[in-house]
Amino acid sequence: MLDIKFLRENPEIVKENIRKKFQDHKLEMVDEVIALDLESRRAKQEADNLRADKNKFSKQIGALMAQGKRDEANEMKRKVTESAARLAELEKMEGEYQEKIRKIMLVIPNIIDPTVPIGKDDSENVEVQRYGEPVTPAFEVPYHTEIMEALGGIDLDSARRVAGNGFYYLMGDVARLHSAILTYARDFMIDRGFTYCIPPFMIRSDVVTGVMSFAEMESMMYKIEGEDLYLIGTSEHSMIGRFIDTILPEETLPQTLTSYSPCFRKEKGAHGIEERGVYRIHQFEKQEMIVVCRPEESPVWFNKLWQNTVDLFRTLDIPVRTLECCSGDLADLKVKSIDVEAWSPRQQKYFEVGSCSNLGDAQARRLKIRVAGKDGTKYLAHTLNNTVVAPPRMLIAFLENNMNEDGSINIPVALQPYMGGKTKIEKK
């Protein structure tokens, strides 16, 4: 969410940013906010004047009563009563104006970084760099669930009967591999100086609206009926929410955390939820990383975060590339975003396995996450997040890139201690 003062003083910059994101239907919102803000400030000014008059009249009434000027005192009391009614009206108007302004400001997009490529949608994202040589095996790589079924590692039919489409049972060595990858990712991030955390898996609505846009919430979040609670779609939500309405001493920054959680997503409007696969599902597990830092440090941390994911995938012999998200593909709160995509030997193309985002002070403004500077000043923090690893989607890349012609799966050296020393998973 933008600073209302910035919008008030720079309406054309805000409008140009909206055009860059191809959201022209939001242009009129800028003028609407400016008009509401003017009315709100007028109401506040009149209310402040009435409060000052009330204090002045109260002192005068006491003086007049002491002098025995009862009629004049009563006339003054009448004026105070009249101004009190108007003050109550103005205070109500102030609240209504502020609520209208906030609702609009929540959907006006954040100012994107100048380096973000301009494009309408994800088809115009820009490849940055490739890491590792994509492999084209001499044999045909089966569909990922066929690989898992051959290993005795997945049961989709039972899951469908129990919970419907978009769920799965992982079994045996594949289930163990799933847990091993998450545990390895946890230790990988701890070794890089991040503090491990297991957060709440449900959050309140004020946290939801603090960390994401309404459009994202509608398409992703499951609401707990009868309670002010939502199931998290990623642990970033509750991890950033941990700092809601706090003032962090500058010397405690940066806060660097890595978290494990299950994730729950409606995947509303997603294609492929009905297909026999685990690429888009309603429930999965994830290792995440988040940073809360000083504004000037966020560009450096942004590059560190996506590099962590690239490095982890390379230790598991999976070729990846980084993709700069264009303006039209950025969620409204994001300043800049890079996706990490893994190579799929079966499809002969890359697919997304993680996303790194710098949100500037947008989440901090919504959640009131402030920093107390050493000079006594207070300012908004910057927040960033990135996927470390999110199986079972990551399992697709792992299985395809480590598969042998006989259907067995090689276990990279880095992961072998987490698989009980196994070097290979054999077909059942």
Residue 66: band (very low, low, confident or very high) from pLDDT cuts 50, 70, 90: low
Q: Give the pLDDT mean for 214-233.
A: 88
List, by residue range, all CATH 1.10.287.40 domains of the chain.
4-105
CA distances to 226, 243, 304 from 293, in Å? 36, 12, 13
**CA pair distance 240, 238, nearest whole angstrom:** 6
Q: At residue 219, does pLDDT exceed 90?
A: no
Residue 270: band (very low, low, confident or very high) from pLDDT cuts 50, 70, 90: low
Residue 280: band (very low, low, confident or very high) from pLDDT cuts 50, 70, 90: confident
> Looking at residue 64, what is its pLDDT?
65
> Looking at residue 74, what is its pLDDT?
67
Q: At residue 274, does pLDDT exceed 60?
A: no
> Looking at residue 56, what is its pLDDT?
72
φ/ψ (deg, to 5) at 343: -80, 135
Q: Give the pLDDT mean for 398-420.
A: 96
> Residues 103-148: pLDDT tens digits?
999 999 999 999 999 999 999 999 999 999 998 899 999 999 999 9
Q: At residue 235, does pLDDT exceed 80?
A: yes
CB atoms within 10 A of CB 218: 12
pTM as predicted: 0.89
CATH number among 3.30.930.10, 1.10.3720.10, 3.30.70.270, 1.20.58.340, domain 122-425: 3.30.930.10
Burial of 249 (C-beta count, 10 Å sphere; 0-12/13-18/19+): exposed
Q: At residue 393, does pLDDT exceed 70?
A: yes
List, by residue range, all CATH 3.30.930.10 domains of the chain.
122-425
Residue 269: band (very low, low, confident or very high) from pLDDT cuts 50, 70, 90: low
Instruction: Name the residue with tokens 């009330």.
Output: 54
Q: Give the pLDDT mean for 335-339.
A: 98
Of residues 56, 130, 49, the one with CA closest to residue 90: 49
CATH architecture of the domain with residue range 4-105:
Orthogonal Bundle (1.10)
Burial of 188 (C-beta count, 10 Å sphere; 0-12/13-18/19+): buried
